[in-house]
């Protein structure tokens, strides 16, 4: 079914002449000013989502609870400045993300350092820069952190990443809570119990609690309720057997966002209340105090705050087969269809789809890379008269686009332009050809 005149994002609209607007600004104006491909971010939407999480978490879990922005969704200096201003914690997964947060003036004592393979250099860099917490993924990492911390005469605060064995019924590539995962120590195999005992024995380690993450693009609270039950059982068992009661329990992130109309819209505040009510009741039934709870939203903070504008290059029609609309971007700025088959909504910018279905054709929107898999989306309805020079918009591109972008085919990365109250400004400039070879000797 072809759906017309539908807006899956609250910050999208059409002007009286039919042109698509984002955060109240005409896309043709921005494309003319900055060129395409063009990443746009709605700053007001980002701040609104931060406040939704912080308010709901504090109201339902108390002042000790935390919202940590998952930096891997989108990482650039201006975004960390916004997180600092909004009072968000952050999680980081590399020294590069730590460096970027530091440049933004973010207080790194509020940062949680993830990754399944922190190098010794990463550990040293994080400690040297005062990163508050390490989320420890393995025994090897725990021992390395302990050794480096003792050399400095400190005790490093850590959470242990625990694998609860929950299948989130999502894409296999983004499911991280199952036992067979490169992440964490599994409860089922006894390894979670073993790494906890080891952490409690080490002089350079201050064990603060536990962490889990069950996956990404999750729409049902049931996944979080099941994970919370498993994790609280584990916390209670550790308390009974080892006399250690966790101060903190981080249950990860992963709430989904609407990429296409058929996907549901999540009431974040209602979901957090449901999880909080369950966790408080279940902890009480186990006879333990509920640890301070943390969430790690990433995608749901920035995804629908983002949009990418492209210019159509060629339109190729193969009679009896299919049609291709090629744009001036592609898998270099959005690799997610190639990686996951991720669905997207793509709209013409200057006018909505015609009311008459005879004036619409179905095409594959593809990129300019020399790669047959360079596809942004299949089965996209477009006006039958679409032509070279027309603008199209790919919606909900705020998460995992800029952060996963590459220079494949030696393409410069697009700029990031922030929109705030009708004002636009550059947060990340467009890469130049000189940038592409700046590191070459």
Query: pLDDT class for 179, splitting at 50, 70, 90?
Result: low
* Non-local CB neighbours of 137 within 8 Å, separated by 6+ positions: 114, 115, 116, 117, 118, 161, 183, 184, 185
Q: Give the distance, in angstroms, between the CA of residue 113 and the centroid of all CA atoms in the same chain.
A: 15
Cα separation, 310 vs 40, in Å, equals 11
pLDDT of residue 172: 43
Cα–Cα distance, 335 to 375 (Å, whole number): 8
Which pLDDT band holds residue 2 (cuts at 50, 70, 90)?
Answer: very low
Average of per-residue pLDDT across 211-235? 87
Tell me: pLDDT of 177 over 60.
no
Domain boundaries, the chain: 12-42+304-436, 43-300
SS3 label, residue 158: strand
- Tell whether the model's pLDDT for residue 107 goes beyond 50: yes
pLDDT over 60 (residue 1) = no
Summarize the confidence of residues 220-249 as an average pLDDT: 94
Q: What is the CATH number of domain 43-300?
A: 3.20.20.10
What's the mean pLDDT when you consider all of the chain? Answer: 93
Percent of the chain with pLDDT over 90: 85
- Name the CATH topology of 12-42+304-436: Lyase, Ornithine Decarboxylase; Chain A, domain 1 (2.40.37)
Q: How confident is the model over 329-354, as a mean pLDDT?
A: 95
* DSSP strands (E only) in 269-327: 292-295, 306-317, 323-327
CA angle 248, 252, 256 (to 5 degrees): 150
Model pTM? Answer: 0.93
Query: What pLDDT score was predicted for residue 254?
Result: 80
The reported pLDDT for the residue numbered 219 is 81
At 173, list the tokens.
């590539």
Catalytic residue chosen out of the listed positions 9, 212, 369, 370: 370
Higher per-residue confidence, 158 vs 166:
158
Q: Is the pLDDT of residue 434 over 90?
A: yes
User: Greater confidence, 223 or 235?
Assistant: 235
Mean pLDDT of 71-86: 98
| Average pLDDT rounded to a whole number, residues 364-384 | 96
- Which residues, 6 or more positions from 412, have their beta carbon under 8 angstroms from its beta carbon? 430, 431, 432, 433, 435, 436
CA–CA distance, 357 with 371 (Å, rounded to integer): 32
- Measured in whole angstroms, the distance separating CA 6 from the mean position of its chain's CA atoms is 25
370 flagged as catalytic: yes
Tokens of 155: 């005790």
């Amino acid at each position: 079914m072809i759906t017309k005149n539908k807006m899956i994002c609250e910050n999208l609209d059409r002007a009286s002449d039919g042109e698509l607007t984002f955060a109240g600004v005409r896309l043709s104006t921005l494309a003319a000013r900055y060129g395409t491909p063009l990443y746009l971010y709605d700053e007001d939407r980002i701040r609104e989502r931060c406040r939704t999480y912080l308010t709901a978490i504090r109201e339902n879990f108390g002042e000790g609870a935390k919202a940590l922005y998952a930096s891997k969704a989108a990482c650039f200096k201006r975004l960390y400045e916004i997180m600092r201003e909004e009072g968000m914690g952050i999680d980081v997964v590399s020294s590069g993300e730590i460096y970027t947060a530091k440049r933004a003036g973010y207080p790194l004592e509020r940062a949680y350092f993830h990754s399944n393979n922190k190098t010794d250099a990463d550990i040293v860099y994080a400690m040297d820069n005062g990163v508050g917490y390490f989320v420890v993924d393995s025994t090897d990492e725990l021992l390395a952190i302990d050794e480096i911390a003792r050399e400095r005469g400190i005790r490093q605060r850590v959470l242990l990443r625990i694998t609860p064995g929950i299948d989130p019924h999502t894409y296999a590539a983004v499911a991280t809570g199952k036992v067979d995962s490169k992440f964490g120590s599994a409860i089922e195999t006894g390894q979670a119990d073993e790494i906890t005992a080891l952490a409690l024995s080490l002089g350079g380690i201050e064990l603060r609690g536990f962490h889990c993450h069950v996956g990404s693009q999750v729409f049902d609270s049931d996944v979080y309720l099941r994970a919370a039950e498993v994790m609280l059982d584990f916390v209670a068992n550790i308390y009974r057997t080892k006399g250690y009661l966790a101060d903190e329990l981080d249950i990860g992130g992963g709430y989904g966002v609407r990429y296409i109309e058929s996907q549901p819209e999540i009431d974040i505040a209602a979901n957090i209340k449901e999880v909080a009510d369950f966790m408080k009741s279940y902890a009480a039934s186990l006879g333990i105090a509920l640890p301070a709870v943390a969430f790690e939203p990433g995608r749901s903070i920035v995804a629908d705050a983002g949009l990418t504008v492209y210019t159509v290059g060629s339109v190729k029609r193969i009679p009896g087969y299919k049609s291709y609309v090629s744009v001036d971007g592609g898998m270099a700025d959005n690799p997610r269809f190639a990686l996951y088959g991720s669905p997207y909504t793509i709209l013409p910018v200057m006018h909505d789809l015609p009311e008459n279905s005879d004036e619409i054709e179905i095409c594959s929107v593809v990129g300019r890379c020399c790669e047959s898999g360079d596809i942004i989306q299949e089965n996209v309805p477009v006006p039958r008269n679409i032509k070279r020079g027309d603008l199209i918009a790919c919606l909900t591109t705020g998460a995992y686009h800029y952060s996963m972008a590459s220079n494949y085919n030696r393409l410069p990365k697009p700029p990031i332009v922030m929109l705030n109250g009708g004002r636009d400004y550059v947060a990340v400039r467009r890469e130049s050809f000189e940038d592409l070879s700046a590191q070459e000797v």
